[in-house]
């Protein structure tokens, strides 16, 4: 059943969802010899034990059926220096990885160089959620580079953090 009203039409939803700032990740894997991937801003951490993260994928995605067949998925947290990668990985270029520096893990996860952090993952669970699926990923390896400030997506625009303050450690 489609539940929309003028209060919750997709344009309005996109507008208000955009008030919540997020990072952007590249979800990518080797398919044969070539990398496949897409940009996603719906990434979030989920669980410490077991180690889980998630993102949401549109059911219309043409890349997800390819990615979900891969044994291992890389999730790279885009740094400000990777804004062009964010655009390219969401676009229609024949080769979304053209000009990007990346490496593949032994398991075939594709990770971008110059990322603020990365996870090597495998799919734990997929949950149908309206016109998207929530994809829960189990983390098998990870690292972070806090000196590379992350790319921010807010109000349909890429933005950059002006400075990072490390004084208030909330972890």
Ligand X SMILES: Cc1cc2nc3c(=O)[nH]c(=O)nc-3n(C[C@H](O)[C@H](O)[C@H](O)COP(=O)(O)O)c2cc1C
Question: Contact positions toward ligand X, by CB under 6 A?
Answer: 24, 38-42, 55-58, 61-64, 86, 89-90, 153
**CB of 153 vs ligand X, minimal distance in Å:** 4
**CB of 7 vs ligand X, minimal distance in Å:** 23
Site of tokens 């490496």: 103
Q: Which is nearer to ligand X, 85 or 167 (CB)?
A: 85
Per residue, what are the HEC states of 34-62? EEEEEEECCCEEEECCCCEEEEEEECCCC
**CB of 168 vs ligand X, minimal distance in Å:** 27
Number of neighbours of residue 116 by Cβ within 10 angstroms: 21
* Cβ pair 58, 126 in contact under 8 A: no
Q: Which is nearer to ligand X, 97 or 153 (CB)?
A: 153
Distance, in Å, from the CA atom of 26 to the CA atom of 9, rounded to the nearest integer, reads: 28
Q: Which is nearer to ligand X, 12 or 159 (CB)?
A: 159
**CB of 169 vs ligand X, minimal distance in Å:** 28
């Amino acid at each position: 059943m489609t539940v929309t009203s003028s209060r919750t039409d997709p344009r309005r939803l996109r507008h208000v969802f955009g008030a919540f700032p997020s990072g952007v990740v590249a979800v990518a894997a080797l398919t044969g010899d070539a990398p496949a991937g897409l940009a996603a801003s719906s990434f979030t951490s989920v669980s410490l034990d077991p180690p889980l993260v998630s993102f949401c994928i549109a059911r219309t995605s043409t890349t997800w059926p390819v990615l979900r067949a891969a044994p291992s998925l890389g999730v790279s947290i885009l740094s400000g220096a990777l804004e062009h990668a964010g655009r390219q990985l969401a676009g229609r270029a024949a080769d979304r990885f053209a000009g990007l520096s990346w490496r593949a893990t032994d398991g075939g996860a594709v990770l971008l160089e110059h990322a603020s952090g990365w996870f090597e993952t495998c799919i734990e669970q997929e949950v149908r959620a309206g016109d998207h699926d929530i994809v829960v990923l189990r983390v098998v390896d990870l690292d972070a580079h806090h000196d590379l400030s992350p790319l921010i997506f807010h109000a349909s625009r890429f933005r950059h953090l002006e400075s990072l303050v490390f004084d208030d450690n909330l972890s």
